[in-house]
Amino acid sequence: MENKKELRGWLDAMELAHPLVIAGPCSAETEEQVLTIAHQLKDTDATVLRAGIWKPRTRPGNFEGVGALGLKWLQKAKQETGMMITTEVANAHHVDLALKHDVDILWIGARTTVSPFIVQEIADALQGTDKTVLVKNPVNPDLALWLGAVERFHSADVKNLGVIHRGFSTYEKTRYRNNPEWQIPIDLQNRFPDLPLILDPSHIAGRRDIIFDLCQTALDLNYDGLMVETHHDPDNAWSDAKQQIKPKTLDQMTVDLRIRKEEGDAIEFQNKLATARTKIDVVDHQLIEMLGKRMRISDEIGALKKKNNVAILQTKRWNEILGKMILQGEEQNLSEEFILKVFKAIHQESINHQKKVISE
Ligand code: PEP
Ligand code: MN
């Protein structure tokens, strides 16, 4: 991974738009569907058409893709519209078929990235290719595993490499289908600033209404591209219906998104400042979520205390918490004074919550 400039180079060498916009259906369903969507996308900012042919589904019984047949439809869409085409490959056989059908970009799905044996098999099948390979993050929030997959392709002499951030599984239900955990791609970007980073807002969101905001955050963080699931009739899509948007909506979205260009000292300063502020916003959002979570646990304790007729304030426990937090704060370069202020406020809010529960 040392030759970082080279990794980014393919984006410029292919004269691809910045940011790169990849769009198309979650799955190829019929020839007519693929061609309809491709023609509707042709005059938008999207330069690459996506469609899943082999669909990894969490549970059996759902639509698992049309298989190799769909590659012919993608190839036809490429001939008719001039768009580049991309699909997911999950084993060496898929790679073979995709290469035979002139697929320009191959992506590695989140469920594949978790498996070093499969990733190695795919990397071996792609040894020395001049095709572009985009590696989605693994389903679990593990940066090392994500980078490990990228490294396998790099070692197989795949020069046109990039990564796709599609969010991470969580057991707890949140507003996202897959939690963005922005700090992970931010870390990756800090370590490999020249590895193109693309956002897949569709699988993070799982719904249409927050796709725009996710894309804007990504652009504010200097992502290099977007991969958005797009369908001419989203509600009737055979997979991921809730998160797909119409080509027309995508077109409007790319008009409305703020895109920063890095040129000139003053502008560069503004860009850097804005990026840092977006990072702060991400962390602030996490702080609020964690505080909310803490108070909900506090409510549970309140209910327990009520049932067992125990007093709210437990001084011994409180002093233990403070002592531990002061020590942990030191590790993070946070002063004792600050930790005391923050935890007194948290404790007070906690007491208020429990009082409310007990008086109910
Ligand atoms: C997809 O892009 O349709 C897909 C299956 O994505 P992921 O691997 O991110 O779940
Ligand atoms: Mn999908």
Return the amino acid letter for 56: P
Distance (angstroms) between ligand 1 centre and the Cα of 111 equals: 8
Instruction: Write down the pLDDT at residue 100.
Output: 97
Peptide bond into 116 cis (omega under 30): no
User: Which of 88, 107, 239 has the alpha carbon at shortest distance from 161?
Assistant: 107
8 Å CB contact between 11 and 18: yes
Does residue 203 line the site of ligand 1, with CB under 6 A?
yes
Residue nearest to atom 3 of ligand 1 (CA): 26
Distance (angstroms) between ligand 2 centre and the Cα of 141 equals: 19
Q: Which atom of ligand 1 is nearest to the CA of 112?
A: 8
pLDDT tens readout for residues 39-88: 999 999 999 999 999 998 778 888 899 999 999 999 999 999 999 999 99
Q: What is the DSSP string of 322-356?
A: HHHHHHHHHHTT--HHHHHHHHHHHHHHHHHHHHH
8 Å CB contact between 146 and 162: no
Instruction: Write down the pLDDT at residue 356.
Output: 92
Instruction: Write down the pLDDT at residue 275.
Output: 78
What predicted TM-score, i.e. pTM, was given to this entire model? 0.82
d(CA 218, CA 242): 21
Which ligand is nearest the CA of 237, by number?
A: 2
Instruction: Write down the pLDDT at residue 5.
Output: 43
Instruction: Write down the pLDDT at residue 190.
Output: 86
Ordered by where they begin, the domains of the chain are 4-256 (3.20.20.70), 267-359 (1.20.59.10)
Instruction: Write down the pLDDT at residue 15.
Output: 65
Helix axes 183-191, 265-308, angle to 10 degrees: 140
Which ligand is nearest the CA of 58, by number?
A: 1
Taking 50 as the pLDDT cut, the residues of the chain under it are 1-6
Q: Which atom of ligand 1 is nearest to the CA of 111?
A: 8
Distance (angstroms) between ligand 2 centre and the Cα of 356 equals: 43
Residue nearest to atom 9 of ligand 1 (CA): 110
Which ligand is nearest the CA of 90, by number?
A: 1
Instruction: Write down the pLDDT at residue 2.
Output: 34
What is residue 166's DSSP assignment? -
d(CA 192, CA 188): 6
